[in-house]
Structure 1
Amino acid sequence: MRSCLCTVARTQQDGTRRKNLNVTSEGEREQQQGAIQAKLKAGMMDAVLTLCNSDSG
């Protein structure tokens, strides 16, 4: 009986660790996506400003 309880506890602990790892990787993925979006936005703004400056010259 004790062995069975230990196995259940270990399985539950492993599941919790996996869940924590998934949450961490999901958070990292969101940060990476945010950084990519910020770079794209900055690039678009640069392109628009370049077009505006070339139009007025």
Structure 2
Amino acid sequence: MEKNVHTSGSVSYATHNQILRHELECAPTFRELFDRTHKWKGTDDYISESAHTITETYDRTMA
């Protein structure tokens, strides 16, 4: 069983949303926000296999 780990520390989901909105100059998508909070900082690697699976499922559903 995987430990539930997030890379955002004490930064809330709402704060990440606001930061991304400012950076992108529009509302971030689910995927952009999920990637921001579920990838190791400075890498393109997800923090867990579960996080990776969620993005694959999301991408298939949205296609």
Q: TM-score, normalised by structure 2?
A: 0.26
Q: TM-score, normalised by structure 1?
A: 0.29
The structure with the larger Rg is 1
- Structure number with higher relative contact order (C-alpha < 8 Å, ≥ 6 residues apart): 2
